[in-house]
Homo-oligomer: A and B are copies of this chain.
């Protein structure tokens, strides 16, 4: 239950937090901006202050429930932390985000950090390109 997730994270169980967490778990799009979350909730009849959305996301991130990504395009997206690690590829035309995992790259990163004398704690790898989805190509003109 979502309320348990909040409790386990040391957060009080409040209506806004539950709504936001539930949205993150049920949305078809795994990567959303704070604005998108705010808008989707509003469209669903759950008007939650934008400030509250930001606060909740910050708390969820601190608690390890979600992860925040800053793409070079400037957009900041949040995604539920579930399943194994992965990196991202972003379409520079339509903004679409996909995930991938590559064992070879993961391994090389560890080796590189070690060879430079770093204790690796995290990494961010994002590829940028143009996707071939019909929707994206259609809007090309």
A residues 69-127 in Cβ contact with B at 8 Å: 69-72, 74, 89, 91-92, 98, 100, 102, 104-105, 108-109, 112-113, 116-127
A34 to chain B, nearest CB (A): 14
Task: Give the CA-CA distance A104 to B111 in the complex, in Å.
Answer: 12
Task: Give the CA-CA distance A104 to B118 in the complex, in Å.
Answer: 20
Number of copies of this protein chain within its complex? 2
Contacts of A112 in B (CB 8 A): 89, 100, 102, 127
Contact assessment for B128 and A123 in the assembled complex, using a CB-CB cutoff below 8 Å? yes
Determine which of B105, B116, B124, B129 lies in contact with A121 in the assembled complex, contact meaning CB atoms within 8 Å.
B129
Task: Give the CA-CA distance A27 to B106 in the complex, in Å.
Answer: 33
- Chain A, interface size: which category? 35 or more
Contacts of A104 in B (CB 8 A): 104-105, 108
Contact assessment for A117 and B105 in the assembled complex, using a CB-CB cutoff below 8 Å? no
Task: Give the CA-CA distance A40 to B91 in the complex, in Å.
Answer: 36
Interface residue? A130 (CB, 8 A): yes
Contact assessment for A129 and B119 in the assembled complex, using a CB-CB cutoff below 8 Å? yes
Task: Give the CA-CA distance A125 to B106 in the complex, in Å.
Answer: 11
